[in-house]
Structure 1
Amino acid sequence: MTRTAAILLSLGIAVFVALLAWQGAGAVAATLATAGWGLALVAAFHLFPLVIDAAAIAVLIGGAASFADALRARWVGESVNSLLPAGQIGGPVLMARHLAQRGIAMHDAAAAVTVSTTMQSVAQIGFALLGLLMFAAFADDRGAGTIHALHLAALGASGVLAVAVGAFYYAQQRGLFGRFSRLLGKFFGPHGAMASATRADAIDAAVRALYRRRGKIAATFALSLIGWLVGIGEVWLALLFIGHPVSWLDALLLESVGQAIRGAAFAIPGSLGAQEGGYLLLAHVVGISPEAALALSLAKRARELALGLPGIVYLQWSERDWRRRRTPGLPLAD
């Protein structure tokens, strides 16, 4: 973990603990406990958007790998992003590595993950704006001041995310991987730099080639947007089991704006603290208590653990098995 990541993680933990203490950790825990085994159903429901997000990657890799490979890669990437202090970089890197271990050329795997990640972020911005438009159109009885404050918060978060995505896309078009590889070569010496730069240039070329496949890009964007929309059901179910049911419109607002705030805090591992603060901001708007808002965030954290820990275990097994297959004479994993 870099020093910056450690500082941001510490800051996120401090905000997370402070918010729990402010609202009363006991009251939040009691609210969450109301859900009981319903939390398992919330975790199971997340499999639907996970499958859809895997389909968004499968569209880009075509027949080079099976859908099961894309699904496992997506599972691994999401698990790493949620649970390990690697920011939002570790997940995509390991997704590409996992696909490459399944027979896809590394430059094609890296390109598919890069473009898919970009399109998912663009769809996330569209999802946030859709949530705002729907809420403004059908929930104008919440008070003009409240809606105005909500718009400012959501648009601010979406703006930060849009700037980051725009810069990422621009860097891709300018040869992101090749430039980064050559920069590393200047710092760490020329040994192996030429081969590394050649591989990085191949990734850049594959990325640009994918962006020219407009049909695939449109399909990936559409599937990513559908995945975000399906995620509304997770919020709706969680609050239902917690004992604070909301309408689908309110669930849309919580998920769309909440995810925009979380996305804007992408530099913080797991967006720790940012997600909780976002739900607290939205609690009054949708008419739930602060304790319920924090319990909703903890329900999502519990889902990340329920699906993420097995994902990390699978990643370790997969890496070990792959290494054994590449080393003659070593027994294969059971």
Structure 2
Amino acid sequence: MKNKKKYKILLLIVGCSILIALIYKVGPSIIYQQFIILKWKVLLLFFPFSLVFILDTLGWKYSFKVGNICFKDLFIIRLAGESVNSIIPSANFAGEPLKAYFLKRHNISMVDGMTSVVISKTMMVITQIIFVMIGILLFLYKLNISSTRLTGSIAIVLLGIPVIIFIIFIQKHGLFAFLLKLLRILRIRIRYIEEREVRLRELDENIYQFYCHNKKKAFYSFVCFFMGWLAGLLEVFLIFYLLNIPVDTVSAYVIESLSTVAKGITSFIPGSVGGQEGGIIAIFTSLKFGAGVALTFGILRRFREVIWTGIGLFVLSKLEWAIAGLPTNE
């Protein structure tokens, strides 16, 4: 446990060092000038992401087979869970069990709660893959590469389709049963998982039943999450508008979609500090935007993330106090 904490701290230090190095290389004065242009307008950045969060929460709401939990409660619980996802390097999975845990306040069992969490996360991942695939294709179009290289690149991009099919197939045939079988094949025994095999198989059955009998809800969830990714473009347009820099729709789409890849790849660093900004600079320079604009964009997005995470952690503390003392209902 201590070694893990040291590892996380080391990664955070490395990430912060990368961020400081990037700021030094770009030039603090250039970034400062960009912020002088913004002033109080930076507060407008909370509106686009609010829409993203609302759409993602709706996507989660449609992931419930049963239960009439209201949107406001889901929004609050998701805010708490996502704050954990943003600070713990776990590829955005650490906060998911917490969401199911807090649903117990609303008479939803852990199994039903986890079912909704797994389904919503699956829809989010599938829509992100599609969103990024389109972004890569637009990026290749923007770079105007030769037809031969374009054909090969498109073939690589389309590999995302088998990944989506595999995710759906595994879920419909038992995700956790598959993981248990894989662990046993590899002769890896995790006592915590072994003791909960019955509950995990029940979870698999719930997920299977959802896909069989709630196809309309699954479709609505898919649409909401995909619209959530598209809504992220509003933040890109807003930042460029506030900086008085013109940007076309294709470039905005490429920036938003590939930025999510940069954040995902560096998710092993707490908060993706440094890695996310480095990825944004690489994307911007490829699109012929300046490194100063890229880092300003990254810092503005980081500012928004920090505030939302802070609000989420505050909500998390309130939820923990509220749920303390409730009987376990699994």
Category of TM-score, reference length = shorter chain: 0.7 to 0.9
Matches within 5 A, 1:1-334: 2=4, 5-61=8-64, 64=67, 65-85=69-89, 87-134=91-138, 139=142, 143-144=144-145, 172=171, 173-176=173-176, 179=180, 186=189, 194=195, 196-212=196-212, 213-324=214-325
User: What residue identity is the alignment partner of 1:17?
Assistant: I
Q: 1:24 to 1:228 in 2, by over 3 A?
A: same
**Aligned-pair CA distance for 1:295:** 0.9
CA distance in 1, matches of 2:268, 2:317: 25
CA distance in 2, matches of 1:130, 1:193: 40
CA distance in 2, matches of 1:120, 1:241: 29
CA distance in 2, matches of 1:88, 1:157: 23
User: What residue identity is the alignment partner of 1:79?
Assistant: S
The DSSP-based 3-state class of the residue aligned with 2:39 is coil
8 Å Cα contact 1:9-1:272 kept in structure 2: yes
8 Å Cα contact 1:157-1:261 kept in structure 2: no
CA distance in 2, matches of 1:186, 1:294: 45
**Identical aligned residues as a percent:** 24
Q: 1:193 to 1:275 in 2, by over 3 A?
A: closer
8 Å Cα contact 2:262-2:280 kept in structure 1: no
**Aligned-pair CA distance for 1:207:** 2.3
The DSSP-based 3-state class of the residue aligned with 1:35 is helix
CA distance in 2, matches of 1:211, 1:7: 42
**Aligned-pair CA distance for 1:6:** 4.6
8 Å Cα contact 2:85-2:94 kept in structure 1: yes
User: What residue identity is the alignment partner of 1:90?
Assistant: A
Q: Structure 1, residues 240-276: CA drift from partner, whole Å, max 9, x if none?
A: 2233342232211110121123223333332223321
8 Å Cα contact 1:74-1:95 kept in structure 2: yes
User: What residue identity is the alignment partner of 2:259?
Assistant: G
CA distance in 1, matches of 2:162, 2:101: 27
Q: 1:175 to 1:134 in 2, by over 3 A?
A: closer
Q: 1:69 to 1:303 in 2, by over 3 A?
A: same
* Unmatched runs of 5 consecutive residues or more in structure 2: none
Of 9-18 and 73-82, deviating more is 9-18
TM-score, L = length of structure 1: 0.79
8 Å Cα contact 1:88-1:269 kept in structure 2: no
CA distance in 2, matches of 1:82, 1:242: 27
TM-score, L = length of structure 2: 0.80
8 Å Cα contact 1:87-1:269 kept in structure 2: no
**Aligned-pair CA distance for 1:129:** 2.0
**Aligned-pair CA distance for 1:49:** 0.8
* Unmatched runs of 5 consecutive residues or more in structure 1: 328-334
- RMSD (CA atoms): 3.5
User: What residue identity is the alignment partner of 2:236?
Assistant: V
User: What residue identity is the alignment partner of 1:53?
Assistant: D
Aligned length: 315
8 Å Cα contact 2:136-2:157 kept in structure 1: no
8 Å Cα contact 1:12-1:272 kept in structure 2: yes
CA distance in 2, matches of 1:127, 1:275: 18
**Aligned-pair CA distance for 1:104:** 1.1
